[in-house]
Structure 1
Amino acid sequence: MKKSLVLAMAMALGVTASAYAANPFSDVPAGHWAYDSINKLAAAGVIEGYGDATFGGDKLMTRYEMAQIVAKAMAKGANVDKLAAEFADELDNLGVRVANLEKKADNVKITGQIRFRNVHDYDAKGDKDATTLRTRLFVNGQINDDWSYTGMLQNVQEFDNNSGEDGNVDFKRAYVNGKLGGLAVTAGRWDEVPYTGNVADLTGDGVKVSYGEKVQVWGAALKANEATEDSADRVYLAGVNTTFGVVDAYAMYAKGNGKVGGITSDDNKEVYNVGASLDVAKDLNLAYEYMWGDKAYDNRVSKDGWVATLSYKGAEAATPGSWGLSATYYDQPVNAVLAPTTDAETFLKEGGYKGWGVTANYAFAKNIVGEVSYYDTEAKATSSDKNLLFADLFFTF
């Protein structure tokens, strides 16, 4: 047995060697470098030596013999996870279960998604296509039975000069989920997309608290870390949602403090919205959402808007051959949104937008999904119009 291994295993047992005065092995004299550690392991029943009262420190040890020592050390509560992993097969043959080790091995999981995207802009004067490759790595860690951690790294590579992406690797998400009493808590940096996302889709730093199951009430306070002209510097959200029969229903209040679309940074925007969805037939879902704001853009744009979506099935990454179709109509003034999640042109500097979009998706193989979307929208306050075609291919792992 190596010197470092004897010392490490003795320390892992957490008992001082001086408590054991007797020397059980004739070939380990009192002046030997491993005297105290060997005495400790012997007194704890981890090592037994040979039948002739010798330790045999110069002999080569078989993997089976080492596995027996590791098993005994584990039974005594020693932290020998690395050794248990190394001798896992031998421990299994000995009938030793390493459940704690297996549980720790599952504590952290890394998954990912790669998206290849091409966007065709029918109205562009120059190059009409923008192509990007987005890579996301998700890190999920189980802190304990009630708390978990999620992180996400993202890199976007552009293949032309139109996308505006910089190619950096960014830490887009880093947050914990857990329970405090009867409350569910999210804290850190995450992408908050309440309900459909038609009112808000914001990556922010803050905290979210929710309560209830059949009827869930929640609230969130965020500082948007991407404070562009279509996202607020400070956002406060509160909502309630429930299910009755075949209908899912919700209501939400949102307040943005900062620059949001056409509203100046000196103003606070308040938005309210209600929505419901139901399965009108097998695999066919109808969703409707109504939203309104507290501020007027100008006399050409109303304060309220709505969105309706009809969807049939939907591609599932785990199910090759699955597919789906959806169609959406938008009528959303800038006053009734904070940062909508759609890929359509939203014209937030021109009073908001109205128009429609259609999407089709298909799972070509397990964890490989293709999606095509077309959007035709126009500005609420000007004559601007935009027609966009998105072609995406997703790989998940």
Structure 2
Amino acid sequence: MKKSLVLAMAMALGVTASAYAANPFSDVPAGHWAYDSISKLAAAGIIEGYGDDTFRGDRLMTRYEMAQIVAKALAKGANVDKLAAEFADELDALGVRVAALEKKSDNVKVTGQFRYHYAHNKINRNNGESTSNHSNALRSRIWFTGKVNDNWNYVGMLQNQQDLTDNTGNETTNFQRAYVEGRLGGVRVVAGRHDFQLGDANLYDNRMDGIKVEYGNKVKVGAYYGKPTDHELSNGDLGDDITVKYDRFFGANVGAEIGKFSLNVAYDKFKDAYKYDKDAKATDYSNDLDDNGVFSVQAKYNFGKAALDAIFLKSNVDTDKGYINNGASTKGLVVTASYGGAEAAKVGSWGLVGKYYNQGVGTFVAHTMNGNAQDFIKEGFKGYSLAGYVTVAKNMVAGLEWYDLKGKESKDKEKTLWSQLVVSF
């Protein structure tokens, strides 16, 4: 079902939101023919769009998605009896949720994710020694999204992690996200402890405590300031017990979309690094990593279901000092080729991703991969990864990933086979 049909129903739904309600979707400019209808429906809480602030009006809707819109309209008291009859089966399947939760849908929305993974790692050192290990864990996440007003939401996330590797019952539960998101005029704002990525997640992919702002649609300008989450940048598996952490970071970027082509240029600064000796439990100032500035340029082209992406990175870490290998490369290149994608709501959908890595020191701080790039923080690494994902049942996606990495100077190798099942609800 086309979303344009939903917009045509705006009058029938009896929406009474202000004609001056702000439109929350970046891909619906003020001059769009459906701007007023979309603004009213969004302000009334009947449509929500997607997590990236888009409406995607050219996307086909499922009957289930339409039933959710009808359910929200019913909760608003709209006269949509014909629609309710058409989607009776889907509304019945939603029965408990509609009856018990939709009355509060304007206030709090609860979603979740469960992930099980098993991974096997093998380390082959250049001197002929080899070791192996494995990881085996369950991770559960519950998200709470509360509506503050028409333009702002509060988001929180509770996470439980159970490490099954050694059967000792290792378990942690913590409140990992707490932030507000919304708009100040035409500026999109996220502030608090939230997800954060830099360098297409090859430079940094973790949480941050701080603020991020972005402005624009086809041409976007963004900036941020905050503290990166403490993240181990150690060579523990390769014989080094040092961990490096940063106290603050900031940066800016500008990006543009021209048809199927997109380009992004960024500069990111990591400041005040410290080295932690886990044996002595002491800290000392890490001058060689203290002032890491990273310049990056990323280009991407979409070929329908396929896409090709490349990013170049250059750091300015000082390789003449103690922790970093003397004379190590500070340049990085990551090339990504992808096809399709596993959509959680579409059983049988699948996708493939291949990556080539050649990253010098300072071009990766908290890498997004499930391989062990962090073990090469002192020298940089080369390698590749292959991954495949398939939706085996509705909201259940299985994945298999292979990583083959090598130290740029030591030539030590790390290979990882990662498998996972992700269930969302």
Query: TM-score, normalised on structure 2?
Result: 0.65
- Give secondary structure in 2 for the equivalent of 1:128: strand
Measure the CA separation in 2 of the matches of 1:222 and 1:393.
33
Which of 265, 268, 274 is matched with 2:286 structurally?
265
- TM-superposed CA distance for 1:264, in Å, is 5.9
Query: Is 1:120 equivalent to 2:120 in the alignment?
Result: yes
Q: Is the 8 A contact 1:300 1:380 kept in 2?
A: no
Q: Equivalent of 2:180, from 165, 176, 182?
A: 176
Q: 1:153 aligns with which of 158, 164, 172?
A: 158
Shift in CA distance, 348/123, structure 1 to aligned 2, threshold 3 Å? closer
Query: Is the CA contact (8 Å cut-off) linking 2:201 and 2:368 kept in structure 1?
Result: yes
* 1:244-263 equivalence runs, <5 A: 244-259=258-273
Deviations 1:170-223 (A, max 9, x none): 111100001122221111001211351111113121111111112111111111
Matched residue, 1:370: 398
Which structure 2 residue ranges, 5 or more long, are not aligned?
1-73, 82-100, 125-129, 234-243, 277-283, 320-324
| Inter-partner Cα distance in structure 1 for 2:150 and 2:367 | 35
- Aligned pair 1:236/2:250, yes or no? yes
Measure, in 1, the Cα distance between the counterparts of 2:211 and 2:304: 38
- CA deviation after TM superposition for structure 1 residue 378, in Å: 1.0
Residue 319 of structure 1 pairs with residue 346 of structure 2: yes
User: C-alpha displacement at 1:277, in angstroms?
Assistant: 0.8
Cα drift, residue 128 of structure 1: 3.2
Q: Deviations over 1:66-111 (max 9, x none)?
A: xxxxxxxxxxxxxxxxxxxxxx99x999x9xxxxx96644320111
Cα deviation for residue 395 of structure 1 reads 0.4
Query: What TM-score does the superposition give when structure 1 sets the normalisation length?
Result: 0.70
Partner of 1:345 in structure 2? 372
CA positional deviation for 1:235: 1.1
Task: Tell me the distance in 2 between the aligned counterparts of 1:277 and 1:165.
Answer: 44
Deviations 1:212-242 (A, max 9, x none): 1121111111112325336522111211111
Distance 1:260 1:269, change over 3 A: farther
Query: In 2, Cα distance between the equivalents of 1:184 and 1:260?
Result: 33
- 3-state SS of the aligned residue for 1:120? strand
| Other-structure match for 1:135 | 140
| Aligned pairs for 1:271-286 within 5 A | 271-279=294-302, 281-286=303-308
Q: 1:165–1:303: structure 2 CA closer, same or farther, 3 Å change rule?
A: farther
- Equivalent position amino acid for 2:372 in 1: E
CA distance in 1, matches of 2:253, 2:369: 21
Which has the higher mean CA deviation after the structures are superposed, 231-240 or 169-178? 231-240
Identity %: 35
3-state SS of the aligned residue for 2:362?
helix
1:306 corresponds, among 315, 330, 333, to 333
Alignment partner, residue 225 of structure 1: 229
- State whether residues 199 and 311 of structure 2, in contact with CA within 8 Å, keep that contact through their aligned partners in structure 1: no
Following superposition of structure 1 onto structure 2, how do residues 161-200 of structure 1 map, counting pairs within 5 Å?
A: 161=166, 166-194=170-198, 196-200=200-204
Cα shift readout 1:223-272 (whole Å, capped 9, x = no counterpart):
12325336522111211111012101101111101338999633210001
Q: Secondary structure of the residue that 1:201 maps to in structure 2?
A: strand
The amino acid across from 1:254 in the alignment is: D
Q: Please state if 1:294 is matched with 2:329.
A: no
Q: Residue 165 and residue 327 in structure 1: after superposition, are their counterparts in 2 closer, same or farther (change >3 A)?
A: farther
Higher Cα radius of gyration = 1
- Look up the equivalent residue of 2:359 and give its one-letter code: Q
What is the CA distance between 1:323 and its match in structure 2?
Answer: 0.3
Distance 1:338 1:129, change over 3 A: closer
Structure-2 change in CA distance of 1:166 and 1:206 (3 Å): farther
Q: Tell me how large the CA RMSD over aligned residues is.
A: 2.9
One-letter identity of the residue aligned with 1:282 = G
Distance 1:120 1:258 in 2: 34
The residue type paired with residue 287 of structure 1 is: D
Does structure 2 retain, via aligned residues, the 8 Å contact 1:204–1:225? yes
The Cα of 1:126 is off from its aligned counterpart by 6.7
Q: How far apart in 1 are the matches of 2:189 and 2:258?
A: 25
1:142 deviates by 1.0
Residue 173 of structure 1 aligns to which amino acid in structure 2?
R
Question: Structure 1 residues 282, 184: CA separation in 2 closer, same or farther (over 3 Å shift)?
Answer: closer
- Whole-angstrom CA distance in 2 between matches of 1:201 and 1:108: 27
Is 1:357–2:385 an aligned residue pair? yes
